[in-house]
Structure 1
Amino acid sequence: MENNIGDVIDGFKISNKEFVQEADSNAIIYTHEKTKASVIYLQNEDKDKVFNIGFKTPPYDDSGVAHIIEHSVFCGSDKFPVKEPFLEIMKGSLNTFLNAMTYKDKTMYPFSSQNEEDYMNILDIYLDAVFNPSIDKTKEIFMQEGWHYELIEKNDNLSINGVVYNEMKGSLSSPTTLLNNEIYKALFDNLYKYVSGGDPKCIPNLTYEKFLEFYNKYYHPSNCCIYVYGNCNINVILKFINNKYLSNYTFKQDIPIYKPEIKNLKNKYISAPYTIDEHDLEENKTFIAKSYVISTSLDDEVSLAIRILSDILINSDAAPIKRALLKEHLCGNVFGMYDNTVLQPVFSIVVENTNKDNLERIEKIINDNLINLASNGINKKLIEACINTAEFSLREIGASGISKGLMLGINIITRWAYCNDDTNNPLDVLRYEKNIKTMKNWLENDGFEKSIKKYLFENEYTATITLYPEKGLSKKSEDEFNLKMLNIKNNLTDKEVLKIINENKALNLRQDTPDTEQQLNTIPLLKLKDINKKATILNIEEISIDNTTLLFHEAHTGGIVYMNLMFDTSMLDDDKLTYLGLLCHTLGSVETKNYTFEALSNEILINTGGISVNANAYADTQDTDKTYKYIEISVKAVKGKLNSAIDLVKEILLNTKFDDKQRLLEIIKNIISISQAMITSSGHQLAVTRLLSHISTGMIYREKSNSFTFFKNIKNILDNFDKKAEETYKELENLINILFCKENLTIGLTCNKDEKQLFLSASSDFIYSLPNNQPKNSKNQFTLNNTTEGFLTPSSVQYVALGYNFKKLNFTYDGSLEVLKTILSTDYLWNNIRIKGGAYGAMVILSPSGNLVFVSYRDPNLQNTLDVYKNIGKYIEKFEVNDREMTKFILGTVQVLDQPLFPQQAMRTAVVNYITHNTPEFAQKIRTEILTVTCEDIRNKFKLISSVIDENLFVVFGNSEKIKENKKLFDKIITVL
């Protein structure tokens, strides 16, 4: 029986019901009569069921209290009294997403699963975590996840440790993150001026009592919004939520109401330092941001307009403000940031890799361009291009790695947080068709020009922030911290010292004491019989077109055609890989025979959802010595623009010109900006790639075309640009002549069958136009070597990677290794690197080709982490768990294999499987081995793991002082860019 507005279902009254076209869902809004909690359900046929619960959590300082609570509620609850319920779900469920997120003014707890029983199990654990956590009974949770003084013996040095504390030390090593924090400090006097994640300098100011007080104030049903999405039995879910949780509460009046702050700053100026290495140069390392507070996030029309204006003015290759600043050689890069996840959205024009004394000129160029564009108009093609980009992104929601259901839920709860009365409907955030139509009308009636004047040039709620480099600031901060710790300890009484030691002992005891079988049995668990025994097979059809192989994966894509043009690069010599990486950055971003690069940028954005170029290498599943290397051009377009998209690809591949010295310099400077961001925020990726480049030809290819060596070589070109420019042009032109021929080409395609026929017709002329070059073999062999390396960075934390290729040590890959990966990730490494070590995380990288790497993330340790890795063998040798625990590890392994794939991801996976001989038979063999694994199978991996560890090959990207303190560990110590 269908429910209607006004009906009450198990304590929930339906207050609204409507169909939302943009979400392809029936939307129903419920209000819990007793507590006024909101439930928003998007009903549709999606099998990937989503749940999210959000709370308004306004910070009052920089202690990160909301962030620490987000971590802590998953450390045991009344119904599930294990130490890490979140970890138990990771180990033993079929979830397709599992996380929690702290925003500047709210906290969310989303998950998803395609299995109905699994969904209800996780729902119970999540709700008990947020409403009945063990935090008030176990102070050690606060100490572990937040912070604590670390002192094991009386004569030890006092220090501070904690998961969030170390996570934020890593996060605030990024200049972009620091800049964003300074922007909000400059613009706001309310809650938005605080670092909701926590500033490591302020986190130790948070007391256990204040922590509990914050939780008790905000974690109440009256202050929550619950989101449900997909093909669910909503009545069963509502009954469960009411009977098990919300019925225990009454309405609470004291809930936060967010109101906009009205200010006239008249362009406030502030500046702040960030650290660079003592050996680094301060020149061209400054960031300058011009930031504006614009309307409220309740105004969807304005939000979409500013999002589009960000691309028009700054982010697109043809953006006039970006062009003007780069033309004057004032910076390395310019980008726009627009944050509408807060009540008062902030738009920033960010200029990076500049100098402090350029501030006045930069401001003049920005203001002059805004005046000119508002008065004289914007290029119509550029506006059309950026509207199309926004529209494509809105229609393709879920393609970025987070599913459609999850993304819609995040947007809805964000909107709910600001809907203080019945005049605002959280569902409005989903409706974009009307606003897209308005934007297209603005194209003809100067709407964007008027918006520039209103929201930017005449806006007085602005600030200009300068973030400048300071040599050795990290060491200075570390010295100050050490002195502070020394002074604190010297002022402690013997009784206080003993208290800290005892608290550490209590924490260590909790961490070292395993959950009892009785406690573990409280976690609901699927049975192995509930798991599909058959491997998921992504079908592929091989079609030959004029000596070119087309690999077609059929899928429903909503009228979008996804193409991946893969050109073999195996003939390239080692010394060409830097230029190959540079080619990936230049194709589609420089002029061609028929287009200036600005015009080309507009045509790409008008006719496609984007064209990207990357160099990739794939190891053969069966033969370790075989690697398949490609430069890949990925294109997506709606079927109505397929011919235009293919014509653009043809233009880029056959008619690109590289002799615009100014443009090439801009691209190279932008690559340097990318590399600097990666070093501070993605050190684990750099460490793993570098380590594997010592043992794998495929990873040498990746490392030299898109990792540290590539960045180093690009920096060398930049430093000697006048001498190297002409040589660089010629190398890039030579690559195009060598690579882009039909014999080199394999095409991946995903769409439906009708669209496939359209593609075959549209692409035949393109394929025919490619030259018939005969590829030559590479003249040289890549050199492999076992070298331990430490990379000196300005980061406050480490990324520690250790590993090897076990097939080179005469071991084989099988399904039990995948289960071992889950065991190590969710048990041994989690407990020793994260829980005890205080790192944000640790993971295992495993491939069928034999690569096995252990890597930590935002890790305060170095030697201790290496010691943890080196003791993995002992853990495996003694591994023994009961059948229930082994089932968890198997479930946790299967859920990774069975993750739902967006159509473009499915096509790429199917194509790579085909190329690397990852056959359906092999996939089935591995799945069967996973489902039948035993403790003995895991123990039998002792020799494999021990042999990998005994190679003692490791790479560390991390804090300069920490690496220097441990210099004896390394064959080489290298200073980053």
Structure 2
Amino acid sequence: MTSLTDQNNPGLNAGDTIGGYRVLRVAPLREINAVFYELDHGATGARHIHISNKDTENTFGVGFKTVPSDSTGVAHILEHTVLCGSRKFPVRDPFFSMLKRSLNTFMNAFTASDWTMYPFSTQNRKDFYNLMDVYLDAAFYPNIGRLNFKQEGHRLEQEEDRLVYKGVVYNEMKGAMSSPDQVMSRSLLNALYPDTTYSNNSGGDPADIPSLTHEQLVAFHRRHYHPSNAFFFTYGTLPLRDHLAVIEDRVLRNFERIDPKTDVPAQPRWQAPKTVRYPYPLAPNEAPEKKYQACVAWLTADITDSFELLALSLLNEILLGNSASPLRKALIDSGLGSALSDGTGFDADNRDTMFACGLRDVTASAAPQVEKIVFDTLNGLVRDGIDPELAEAAIHQLEFHRKEVTNTPYPYGLKLLLSFSGTWFHDGDPLSILEFDQNLQQINDERANGPFFENLIRRHFLDNPHRVRFTLAPDQEMARKEEERVAAELAAIQSGLTGTETEQIRADADALAALQEEGEDLSVLPTLELEDIPPLTLSVPAGPSRGTFPATWYEQPTSGIFYFSAAAGLGRLPEPLVHLIPFFCYALTKCGTARRDYTEISRLLDRYTGGMGLSAHARTRFDNSGKCLPFVTFSSKALVRNQGKMFELLDEFLREFSFGDMNRLKTLFLEYRAALESSVVRNGHSLAISLASRNFSVPRHLDEIWKGVHQLKTIKAITDTGEEAFRAAADDLATIGRHLFTRDNLKIALIGEADALAAAISPLDALMGGLPAGNTDGFGSPDLAPGSDIPREGWSTSTAVSFVASSFETVRMGHEDAPALSVISKMLRSLYLHREIREKGGAYGGFSLYNMEDGLFCFGSYRDPHVVSTLRVYENAGEFITSGAYTEEDVKEAILQVCADIDHPDSPGQAARKAFYRDLIGLTDEARNQYKAGLLKLSREQVMAVAEKYFGKTTRPQAVAVISDEEKLKAANEQLGADALTLHRI
């Protein structure tokens, strides 16, 4: 799009008025073939940005500046509570109910340090306006009931003879503040911004949450969730005029302008740096000596200064972006720690931006040494100059990611909103963030005239006294002391209660329980119908073969980017090497080659590609055999002008890989271990499901070996053993490479536009021709067997909450019962588990999953205050789903949810890659469409029949795994008696 012509909004220009809106600006976004519109609403001051293009995944969002003055979690609890019913939709949870009545591709809500946002995306016009109606009513006209506040925020309840705190956000934040990375990020804000809203924990500190009152919550909504404090965003193909008419009719015409007083002042700058130390909880059975984190952090530019933000983003890439980046390399090469500290990097989310860098897994006294390394490195760069190739690589990465359109991890429209929302919310220019050519040209001009990035280092780091030397310290008594504090606080409250107050607590608990069990009329909510579902799934056909060697070619509109994907079979890999496959994938492109060391290769990767990486997969074939298919994927992408360089690098990695640099290999093992350890609490639900499922099949067995707790145990064993283990691992990794990278063991896909594919024929032939032949059966099934027992286990780690999982076998996709099992998984989650585990139990979430590939059915909970009661909920799930206590409408809603998953949109490159891997595992388009047809024909009677077969009186062996605190697991075992869990430590 080279002009302002916009077929979605013809004739709309700057200066036009639409209802109560005035169009302030219209501008082309040529890189993404879109048009930018900025508007404001005269009567209320509401702001609106619309980005129009050909993307049918239309996005809506409304955001509010939310500036808490304490750590009670008021903004976070409000985010939850406004979604518990509104004026037009007075049902208990319209947001969750709309997940069932929609084909949305994304629905969620976010609370950041100084804003709250409610976004969604969908490909269906009717669905878009259904969801907008619900979102607008929830945000501007919520009921904010007292009982909803108690459910979502906090409440007192009597359990036996003692009081306890309950509440979804209360338990969520207990879990969050058990995680070192969460503690680190929130503590850095507290340290650097002591005089502004960022010093508070916007999510809520569990110690402060119980002091928030319902009246304070209502007052916070009244001021912050007002159109005068609102920022609306729309994106996609739907006409802007229609959006504006709905928003004005539903909301804006009912309000008058106010001053919400939500401006965030700049943090007053210090005249001298500070040294700070914050604690985090560590389990008593873990060694604390090298569990500290140390970093240096600065306050940098104002978020509205788009030029300085772009410059600092590029500087961040120069200093830390890859293994060869000078600050990253200096810190890692010091050997003081295992990996960069949590929170490292440039953070442009707050009014004053910040930059931090340091190390994790250091000793208690390491902070001064870390600070010295940081300043020695920065001084050296200013003195000696930054290698111009580092700056060119950083600019290339910026160009690549600007050009690439993906919907991972969020829909592309939402990614655009998040890229400029911080600047927009603080009255900066959002267009300057999206269209930064002028700022980039100024940077290049200044680079040509002098030491631009060196001066940036001097200004923001060397000469900037607003910095902290920060230590995050493990405290093995912290969790116990917090439990004692809470117990004493509750005991004091209980001793001071009058009889009337005690009765009120009981009455509130009874009223909330009644509300949670109460039937409700969901017909007030809008919904889609089955006829709104596309009958066929998206198909991406491959093109004709080209060149000498077999490959799959996909001609796709990829906006000037070329994609390479390969799969290497693992079916005949010797069993002793299997455990190292994930680390092989992690390390291959970070280790260097026989020709170049890791620093040179890292620079080349950043200079000429958009990334190159490997990952391990254990899949189940979709044919009748259902055998295991393990393989490694090797993928890369590049701007078309650089695809020749990309092939040269691919050839170097495939033929000249090397793991001989022992210092580098040891560093990578420690980094990899640190990443695995930090993910335990964050991904506890997934890890618990993997533990429970590991003995049902070979693919699940491999998944646990590669991605579960047992992978962490493998890496711990190597890193705890020492040099001999590293040398042995180097030999094993080289053996894996020789086994994988043979001509007959690679299946290749190439994806791009016609000219790019034509240009790829010769380099692909050269790449494949240079590889040795051999290993023709790599895509066979491995000679491995899972354990024979059905696990019933508890795994302990440092966490204030639990993750509870259970798994059992059903049937696979080809079976006639598979569509009904998919629907049952959605119905159990929405009609049963959500109520029992989240609303009643106070966990952040409870869910059920049916995997049509291997037929495993799983239950899971996330940030759960319970263990035993959650297991009881799982045990009673069969009774619920076989009871028939649901309607044809409930079945229809579950079908909508399953189809929303199936029809999730992909960018052209992603769609082709998925088609390639579907072909690899034998999942045909015919089978996918047959499965979808079965879904669309399902009735309540069919669902009940399948429910009886798999959830009825016939007992199927169910595996159980729980990740929790050791004391909680022991307490659970006392209740479980003969069904006690076998306990392990992570």
Task: Report whether the alignment pairs 1:954 with 2:964.
Answer: no
Task: Report whether the alignment pairs 1:141 with 2:148.
Answer: yes
What is the CA–CA distance in structure 1 between the aligned matches of 2:469 and 2:403, rounded to whole Å?
A: 35
Q: Which amino acid aligns with 1:377?
A: G
SS of the residue 1:281 aligns to: coil
Pick one of 514, 522, 526 that aligns with 2:528.
526
Pick one of 359, 370, 378 that aligns with 1:362.
370
The residue that corresponds to 2:905 in the other structure is 900
Is the contact made by 1:387 and 1:440 (CA closer than 8 Å) also made in structure 2? no
SS of the residue 2:519 aligns to: coil
Q: Which amino acid aligns with 1:264?
A: W
The alpha-carbon distance between structure 1 residues 838 and 622, as it changes in their structure 2 partners (threshold 3 A), is: farther
Higher mean C-alpha displacement, 425-434 vs 89-98: 425-434
List per-residue Cα deviations over 1:278-318 (Å, max 9, x = no partner): 11101211011211111111122222222222232234101
Task: Report whether the alignment pairs 1:831 with 2:835.
Answer: yes
Q: Which amino acid aligns with 1:143?
A: K
The alpha-carbon distance between structure 1 residues 321 and 234, as it changes in their structure 2 partners (threshold 3 A), is: closer
Is the contact made by 1:528 and 1:891 (CA closer than 8 Å) also made in structure 2? yes
The residue that corresponds to 2:4 in the other structure is none
What is the CA–CA distance in structure 2 between the aligned matches of 1:361 and 1:353, rounded to whole Å?
A: 14
The residue that corresponds to 1:452 in the other structure is 457
The residue that corresponds to 2:347 in the other structure is 339
Equivalences for residues 423-438 of structure 1 within 5 A = 424-438=428-442
What is the CA–CA distance in structure 2 between the aligned matches of 1:249 and 1:906, rounded to whole Å?
A: 44
What is the CA–CA distance in structure 2 between the aligned matches of 1:526 and 1:267, rounded to whole Å?
A: 58
Task: Report whether the alignment pairs 1:578 with 2:571.
Answer: no
List per-residue Cα deviations over 1:553-611 (Å, max 9, x = no partner): 33211111122211001112332122222211210111212211100000011110011
Residue 196 of structure 1, CA deviation:
0.7
SS of the residue 2:568 aligns to: strand
Equivalences for residues 683-694 of structure 1 within 5 A = 683-694=684-695
The residue that corresponds to 2:720 in the other structure is 719
Equivalences for residues 700-779 of structure 1 within 5 A = 700-775=701-776
User: Root-mean-square deviation (CA), in Å?
Assistant: 2.1
The residue that corresponds to 1:75 in the other structure is 84
Is the contact made by 1:802 and 1:954 (CA closer than 8 Å) also made in structure 2? yes
What is the CA–CA distance in structure 1 between the aligned matches of 2:812 and 2:124, rounded to whole Å?
A: 40
What is the CA–CA distance in structure 1 between the aligned matches of 2:840 and 2:625, rounded to whole Å?
A: 36
The TM-score, its normalising length taken from structure 1, stands at 0.95
The residue that corresponds to 1:266 in the other structure is 272
Residue 426 of structure 1, CA deviation:
2.8
The residue that corresponds to 2:554 in the other structure is 553
The residue that corresponds to 1:395 in the other structure is 403
Residue 883 of structure 1, CA deviation:
3.6
Residue 811 of structure 1, CA deviation:
7.4
What is the CA–CA distance in structure 2 between the aligned matches of 1:432 and 1:691, rounded to whole Å?
A: 49
The alpha-carbon distance between structure 1 residues 773 and 624, as it changes in their structure 2 partners (threshold 3 A), is: closer
What is the CA–CA distance in structure 2 between the aligned matches of 1:918 and 1:201, rounded to whole Å?
A: 51
The residue that corresponds to 2:360 in the other structure is 352
What is the CA–CA distance in structure 2 between the aligned matches of 1:218 and 1:688, rounded to whole Å?
A: 40
Equivalences for residues 23-38 of structure 1 within 5 A = 23-38=32-47
Equivalences for residues 1-16 of structure 1 within 5 A = 2-16=11-25
Is the contact made by 1:624 and 1:807 (CA closer than 8 Å) also made in structure 2? no
List per-residue Cα deviations over 1:187-230 (Å, max 9, x = no partner): 11110111111111111110111111111111111111111111
What is the CA–CA distance in structure 2 between the aligned matches of 1:143 and 1:624, rounded to whole Å?
A: 52
Is the contact made by 2:813 and 2:855 (CA closer than 8 Å) also made in structure 1? no
Pick one of 158, 161, 173 that aligns with 2:166.
161
List per-residue Cα deviations over 1:503-543 (Å, max 9, x = no partner): 11111111110213xxx111112222222222222323574
Higher mean C-alpha displacement, 528-537 vs 585-594: 528-537
Work out the percentage of aligned pairs sharing the same amino acid. Answer: 28
Task: Report whether the alignment pairs 1:820 with 2:801.
Answer: no
Higher mean C-alpha displacement, 462-471 vs 322-331: 322-331
Q: Which amino acid aligns with 1:930?
A: L
Is the contact made by 1:283 and 1:355 (CA closer than 8 Å) also made in structure 2? yes
The residue that corresponds to 2:855 in the other structure is 850
Residue 372 of structure 1, CA deviation:
0.7
List per-residue Cα deviations over 1:242-274 (Å, max 9, x = no partner): 122211111113432223123115221111111
Is the contact made by 1:290 and 1:465 (CA closer than 8 Å) also made in structure 2? yes
Residue 466 of structure 1, CA deviation:
0.6
What is the CA–CA distance in structure 2 between the aligned matches of 1:809 and 1:435, rounded to whole Å?
A: 53
SS of the residue 2:847 aligns to: strand
Residue 397 of structure 1, CA deviation:
4.9
Structure 2 residue runs without a partner (length 5+): 1-9
SS of the residue 1:854 aligns to: strand
Pick one of 368, 373, 379 that aligns with 1:371.
379
What is the CA–CA distance in structure 2 between the aligned matches of 1:949 and 1:222, rounded to whole Å?
A: 58
Is the contact made by 1:182 and 1:465 (CA closer than 8 Å) also made in structure 2? no
What is the CA–CA distance in structure 1 between the aligned matches of 2:718 and 2:488, rounded to whole Å?
A: 43
Q: Which amino acid aligns with 2:902?
A: L
Is the contact made by 1:391 and 1:436 (CA closer than 8 Å) also made in structure 2? no
Q: Which amino acid aligns with 1:514?
A: G
What is the CA–CA distance in structure 1 between the aligned matches of 2:310 and 2:955, rounded to whole Å?
A: 52
Task: Report whether the alignment pairs 1:794 with 2:795.
Answer: no
SS of the residue 1:164 aligns to: helix
Equivalences for residues 242-391 of structure 1 within 5 A = 242-264=248-270, 266-334=272-340, 336-391=344-399
The residue that corresponds to 1:865 in the other structure is 870
Is the contact made by 1:475 and 1:961 (CA closer than 8 Å) also made in structure 2? no
The residue that corresponds to 1:945 in the other structure is 951
What is the CA–CA distance in structure 1 between the aligned matches of 2:812 and 2:40, rounded to whole Å?
A: 61
The alpha-carbon distance between structure 1 residues 915 and 264, as it changes in their structure 2 partners (threshold 3 A), is: same
The alpha-carbon distance between structure 1 residues 923 and 352, as it changes in their structure 2 partners (threshold 3 A), is: same
Residue 74 of structure 1, CA deviation:
1.0
The alpha-carbon distance between structure 1 residues 803 and 269, as it changes in their structure 2 partners (threshold 3 A), is: same
Residue 401 of structure 1, CA deviation:
2.0
Equivalences for residues 655-666 of structure 1 within 5 A = 655-666=656-667
The residue that corresponds to 2:982 in the other structure is 972
Task: Report whether the alignment pairs 1:19 with 2:23.
Answer: no
What is the CA–CA distance in structure 2 between the aligned matches of 1:309 and 1:9, rounded to whole Å?
A: 42
Q: Which amino acid aligns with 1:532?
A: P
Task: Report whether the alignment pairs 1:915 with 2:924.
Answer: no
Is the contact made by 1:542 and 1:550 (CA closer than 8 Å) also made in structure 2? no
* Count of aligned pairs: 964
Higher mean C-alpha displacement, 526-535 vs 674-683: 526-535
Task: Report whether the alignment pairs 1:193 with 2:193.
Answer: no
Q: Which amino acid aligns with 1:362?
A: V
The alpha-carbon distance between structure 1 residues 434 and 4, as it changes in their structure 2 partners (threshold 3 A), is: closer
The TM-score, its normalising length taken from structure 2, stands at 0.95
What is the CA–CA distance in structure 1 between the aligned matches of 2:46 and 2:784, rounded to whole Å?
A: 67
SS of the residue 2:301 aligns to: coil
Q: Which amino acid aligns with 2:433?
A: V
Q: Which amino acid aligns with 1:638?
A: L
The residue that corresponds to 2:5 in the other structure is none
The residue that corresponds to 2:7 in the other structure is none
The residue that corresponds to 1:179 in the other structure is 184
Residue 699 of structure 1, CA deviation:
2.2
Residue 625 of structure 1, CA deviation:
4.0
Q: Which amino acid aligns with 1:344?
A: D
Q: Which amino acid aligns with 2:481?
A: K
Residue 441 of structure 1, CA deviation:
4.7
SS of the residue 1:357 aligns to: coil
Higher mean C-alpha displacement, 184-193 vs 698-707: 698-707
The residue that corresponds to 2:479 in the other structure is 474
What is the CA–CA distance in structure 2 between the aligned matches of 1:365 and 1:926, rounded to whole Å?
A: 58
Q: Which amino acid aligns with 1:899?
A: H
What is the CA–CA distance in structure 2 between the aligned matches of 1:511 and 1:780, rounded to whole Å?
A: 47
Residue 479 of structure 1, CA deviation:
2.9
Pick one of 45, 53, 60 that aligns with 2:54.
45
The residue that corresponds to 1:417 in the other structure is 425
The residue that corresponds to 2:680 in the other structure is 679
